[in-house]
Amino acid sequence: MALPEQAHAVLGHPVRRKEDMRFIQGRGRYLDDIVLPRMAYLALVRSPYAHARIRSIRVDAAKAIPGVLAVITGEDLEELGLAWMPTLAGDKQMVLAVGKVLFQYQEVAAVVGETREAAVDGAQAVEVDYEPLPVVVDPFRALEPDAPVLREDREQKTNHIWHWEVGDREATEEALRRSDVVIRERIRFQRVHPAPLEPCGCIADFDRITGRLTLYVTSQAPHAYRTLLALVTKLPEHMIRVISPDIGGGFGNKVAIYPGYVCAVVASMMLGRPVKWVETRTENLTSTSFARDYHMMVELGATREGKVTALRVKTIADHGAFDASANPTRFPAGLFSICTGSYDFPVAFAEVDAVYTNKAPGGISYRCSFRVTEASYLIERAMDILADELGMDPAELRRRNFIPPEKFPYRSALGWTYDSGNYVAALDRALELIGYEELRREQEERRRRGELMGIGISSYTEIVGAGPSHTFDIAGLKMFDSCEIRVHPTGKILARFGTRHQGQGHETTYAQIIAHELGVSVEDVLVEEGDTDTAPYGLGTYASRSTPTAGAAAAMCARRIREKARKIAAHLLEAAEEDIVWEEGRFIVRGVPGKSVTFPQVAFAAYTNPPPGMEPGLEAVYYYDPPNLTFPFGTYVCVVDIDKGTGQVKVRRFVGVDDCGTVINPMIVEGQIHGGLTEGFAIAFMQEIAYDENGNCLSSNFTEYLIPTAVETPRWELDRTVTPSPHHPLGAKGVGESANVGSPAAFVNAVVDALSHLGVRHIDMPITPWKIWRILREHGITE
Ligand code: CDP
C-alpha cells in the first residue's frame, strides 16, 4: 500500500511501521497459524514433583487412546543418544527425564496424537510412579555441605556450578578498608519471566524422501538453532531448514532450545509426518527460561564528601536444575561486570557463584544484554543507599561520581571500554523535566503533614551489541551479524538479515537505513528475516544487538553496493570514477550538478548496460563484526505517593531521558522504551516466579504472575539526548532493553525514598501493597 507522505522520509524520521499493516489486521503468520497437511500434535507429560526418582513409566493406557500415534520416553531417547541435550551455557539438560526429575513441570514423556486433544488425553493417561526426594529451593541451602546433591549425573558431588570473578580483589579490599564510609546491603533481584504473549512452539517436518528437516519454530536465533540441531541430531546442516515465522514477543524467552522441540523432531522422524508442539501459558511460565534470581551482597565505599572509592559485589546465582542460561561463552555471569555503572570507580571486584536448585532451568537475559539489568539495579540501588548514609541528595551524589564526558572512551575498573557518554546531560534534562527542586520542597512539606511521597532516580549505563568476535561467541559461534542486499533491475530492493525481530520493527528500521544509504524510498526496500535457507548467517535478535550489529551490517552492505553503483554511474555519465560524488541521494559529476543519475537508473544499468568487463548484477552481502559494544545510557526519575492505609504505591510521574546515539526511528525507539518501562514497572511492583518449600511453582498463570494493563501502567514522559557511538557506522546504539534495565531501580528508589525518614534503607522487589503495609505497621504508621 502506498504511504506517499513517507516516500522520502528516511533516517531519524518516525516512519510508520511497515509490518503493522499485517499485525493490526490480524494477518501476522505466527507459528500456531501454520497448518501442514497430515500434521500431528505433540503434548508433554510433566512432573508434579520438584525432586523425585522415577520408579516406572507406564504408557499402555496412553497408547490405547484413540488417535494417539506414539509415546516417547526418556529411555526411547536414550537409545537415540538424545535423552540429554547441551545447553547454551555448556551444561547438559534432560530432554525427557531419565531416572529422576529435578523440577516441577519437568518434561517426562511426549505423546503424539492425530489431534491436539488426542495428544493431551494421551499425556494424561501416561502413568508415572514417582518416589519423592528432599527438595532444595533456596540457593544458600543448596550450598550447605549436607544439602542433597541434585545433579547425580555430574562428577562434582555438590550443587555448586561455577565460580566467576573479575577485578582486583586485594586493591578493593584495601580501598574499602580506607574508605570513610562503607555501605553494605543484601539486594535480591527476584526470579522473573519474560512471559511473551505468544508462548514457544514448533512444527518439525521431516521429509523421509528427501531426508530434509524443516523446523518452523519460535526462535530469536534461527541460524544458531540450525547449527545446534545439526550438532545434536547429527543431521547434515544443509538438510535442515529453520523458519522462524512472525513472533509474538521473545524478550530472551525464545533463545534457548527446549525439550519440546527435540521431541517434535524425533516424533516427525519416527512418523514421517509434520508434528506440531505448542506450549500452554502454564508450561511457558513454569518450564521455559526464567530470568534474574540473583542474590547480591554489595559493599560500596566512599569519602565523606561523597566520592566513591570502591565497589565489591558477591552474588549467588540460582540457575535452577540445569544451567540453561544463554550467555556468551567467556561470560558465565553475562556482562554483570558492568556493575560499576555510570560512575568513575577507581577499583572494583565482583564475583558470582552459580548454584543448582529444584527449580526450572534458565538464567536468561530477559530484555537485557546478559545480566546487565541485575548489575544496573544493584549499582543504582547502592548509590541511593550511600546517599542516604551520607545525608546527601541522590542526584548530587550521582553528579559527583559520573564518568565525565571528556574521559570517553573510558576504561572501567572491571575492564570494559565505554565508547561514549554524557551522563550529566541526561540527568540534568530529566531533573529539569520533572521539576526536581520543586518536588523536593513538596516532599518536605508533605512529610510535615505525615504524607508519604518519594522521588527515585536511576542513571543507568548499558552495554549492548555483542559483540566483537574476538571476545564474544555463543556455543563457539562468533557473535557477528549480517545483511544481504539484492537490488532488482528496477531499483527495488530485497534485504535479508541474520537477525529475527519479535516486534521490534526491523522491517521498517533496516529499510530506513538502506534507503538512507542508497537514496531510495523506504517503501522500495523489503526486509526479510527468519529463514535459514535464504537469510545470511547471523546470531539473531536478543540483547539489543540488532542495531549495533545487523543495523551496522545494513549500512556497510549498502555502502558496498554504492561503491559498485558509483562505477556504473561513471560509465553512464561518461566521467572518471573519481569525479563521481554521492550527494543528496544521487550520483553527480563533480562540479556539474546538472549531470547526475539516480540509484534506480544505475540499478537498471547494472542489468542492462554494465560497463565493459564488469560483472553484471547489483548484490552484496556483509558480515559485520563490531569493534566494540555500544553503551547506551539515560536517567529515569520516578515520583510515587504511598497510601498509608493500604500500602498501595501510586506512580504519580515518570520521566525518562534515554540516549541511544543516533536514532533511526524515534517512534519505534519511543515504543521500545514504553514497553521496557512497563515491564520494569511490573517487575518492581508485581512479578515474581515464586516457589513454596516443596518446589511447587506459585506463579504458573497470569492470575498469579501479573501482567500490567493500561489501567495500572503509569504515563511515561520521555525525552532524549544524542551521544553517537563513535564506532557504529551510523552512530547508533541499541535501545530495545534500556528501559527494562534502567527502570526497576527508579521505582524502588522512589518507594524507599518515601520511607527513608522512617529508617527504611532497602525493600526487595516486587514491592506489593502487602509488603509496604507491613513495613508501615512495623514503624507504627497507620492511616
Ligand atoms: O536487538 P533488538 O532489535 O531487540 O534491539 P535494538 O537493536 O535496540 O532495536 C530495537 C528497535 O529500535 C529496532 O527497530 C531498531 O532499529 C530501533 N532503533 C532505532 O530506531 N534507533 C536506535 N538508535 C536503536 C534502535
What CATH number does residue 361 fall under?
3.30.365.10
The tens digit of pLDDT for each residue in 410-424 reads 999 999 999 999 999
Contact 771, 402 (CB under 8 A): no
529 and 595 share a domain?
yes
Domain boundary among 287, 305, 338: 287
The tens digit of pLDDT for each residue in 332-352 reads 999 999 999 999 999 999 999
Look at residue 410 and tell me if it is in a domain. Answer: no
Percent of all residues in the chain with a pLDDT value above 90, rounded to a whole number = 96
In sequence order, what are the residues at sequence separation of 6 or more whose Cβ sits closer than 8 angstroms to the Cβ of residue 144? none
Look at residue 160 and tell me if it is in a domain. Answer: no
The tens digit of pLDDT for each residue in 592-647 reads 989 999 999 999 999 999 999 999 999 999 999 999 999 999 999 999 999 999 99
743 pLDDT band, cuts 50/70/90, is very high
For residue 678, pLDDT beyond 80: yes
For residue 6, pLDDT beyond 70: no
Q: What is the pLDDT of residue 279?
A: 98
Domain boundary among 287, 310, 341: 287
Q: Given the residues 200, 339, 368, 697, select the one marked as catalytic.
A: 368
Q: Is 368 a catalytic residue?
A: yes
- Which numbered atom of ligand 1 lies nearest the CA of 733? 23
Q: Which three cell numbers stand for residue 434?
A: 520533572
Q: What is the pLDDT of residue 642?
A: 98
| Residue 134: burial class (beta carbons within 10 Å; 0-12, 13-18, 19+) | exposed
User: What is the rounded CA–CA span in Å between residue 344 and residue 410?
Assistant: 9
In sequence order, what are the residues at sequence separation of 6 or more whose Cβ sits closer than 8 angstroms to the Cβ of residue 13? 6, 512, 665, 666
Q: What is the pLDDT of residue 277?
A: 98
Q: Is the CB of 504 under 6 A from ligand 1?
A: yes
219 and 204 share a domain?
yes
Contact 614, 565 (CB under 8 A): no
Average pLDDT, integer, range 695-701: 98
Contact 457, 426 (CB under 8 A): no
**Which of 456, 310, 304, 443 has its CA nearest to residue 380?**
456
Domain boundary among 624, 656, 685: 624
For residue 5, pLDDT beyond 90: no
Q: Is 737 a catalytic residue?
A: yes
570 and 446 share a domain?
no
Q: Is the CB of 369 under 6 A from ligand 1?
A: no
For residue 4, pLDDT beyond 60: no
Q: Is the CB of 673 under 6 A from ligand 1?
A: no
Contact 59, 75 (CB under 8 A): no
Look at residue 301 and tell me if it is in a domain. Answer: yes
For residue 376, pLDDT beyond 80: yes
Average pLDDT, integer, range 89-115: 97
Closest C-alpha to ligand 1, atom 12: 669
519 and 660 share a domain?
no
Pocket test for ligand 1, best of 16, 462, 504, 667 (most atoms within 8 A of CB): 504
Q: Given the residues 106, 220, 504, 687, select the one marked as catalytic.
A: 220
492 and 619 share a domain?
yes
Look at residue 187 and tell me if it is in a domain. Answer: no
For residue 2, pLDDT beyond 50: no
Q: How far is the CA of 481 from the centre of ligand 1 (A)?
A: 14
Q: How far is the CA of 651 from the centre of ligand 1 (A)?
A: 27
CA 649 to centroid of chain Cα atoms: 28
Look at residue 569 and tell me if it is in a domain. Answer: yes
**Which of 673, 631, 636 has its CA nearest to residue 657?**
636
688 and 706 share a domain?
yes
Domain that holds residue 241: 31-133+199-247+254-287
Pocket test for ligand 1, best of 509, 522, 662 (most atoms within 8 A of CB): 509
Q: Is the CB of 546 under 6 A from ligand 1?
A: yes
User: What is the rounded CA–CA span in Å between residue 460 and residue 339?
Assistant: 10
Four-residue CA torsion sign, 592, 594, 595, 598 = positive
Q: How far is the CA of 501 from the centre of ligand 1 (A)?
A: 10
Q: Is the CB of 547 under 6 A from ligand 1?
A: yes
CATH number of domain containing 35? 3.90.1170.50
Percent of all residues in the chain with a pLDDT value above 70, rounded to a whole number = 99
Q: How far is the CA of 736 from the centre of ligand 1 (A)?
A: 6
> Is 0.90 surpassed by the pTM of this model?
yes
- Which numbered atom of ligand 1 lies nearest the CA of 730? 23
Look at residue 474 and tell me if it is in a domain. Answer: no
Q: What is the pLDDT of residue 9?
A: 56
- Which numbered atom of ligand 1 lies nearest the CA of 661? 23
For residue 3, pLDDT beyond 50: no
Q: Is 559 helix (H, G, I), strand (E, B) or coil?
A: helix
- Which numbered atom of ligand 1 lies nearest the CA of 665? 20
Q: How far is the CA of 731 from the centre of ligand 1 (A)?
A: 12
Q: What is the pLDDT of residue 467?
A: 82
Look at residue 97 and tell me if it is in a domain. Answer: yes
Q: What is the pLDDT of residue 783?
A: 78
Q: Is the CB of 620 under 6 A from ligand 1?
A: no
597 and 683 share a domain?
no
Q: What is the pLDDT of residue 585?
A: 84
325 and 206 share a domain?
no
Look at residue 21 and tell me if it is in a domain. Answer: no
576 and 725 share a domain?
no
Q: What is the pLDDT of residue 593?
A: 83
For residue 659, pLDDT beyond 70: yes
543 and 634 share a domain?
no
619 and 765 share a domain?
no
Average pLDDT, integer, range 473-485: 93
Q: Given the residues 367, 429, 496, 562, select the one marked as catalytic.
A: 367
Q: Is the CB of 505 under 6 A from ligand 1?
A: yes
Q: What is the pLDDT of residue 205?
A: 98
Q: Which three cell numbers stand for residue 140?
A: 544458600
Pocket test for ligand 1, best of 546, 722, 733, 741 (most atoms within 8 A of CB): 546
Q: What is the mean pLDDT of the chain?
A: 96
Pocket test for ligand 1, best of 364, 668, 720 (most atoms within 8 A of CB): 668
305 and 453 share a domain?
yes
For residue 142, pLDDT beyond 60: yes
The tens digit of pLDDT for each residue in 55-77 reads 999 999 999 999 999 999 999 99
Q: Given the residues 198, 299, 380, 737, select the one marked as catalytic.
A: 737
Q: Is 483 a catalytic residue?
A: no
Structural domain count, the chain: 3
100 forms bridges with which residues in the sheet? Answer: 53
| Residue 501: burial class (beta carbons within 10 Å; 0-12, 13-18, 19+) | buried
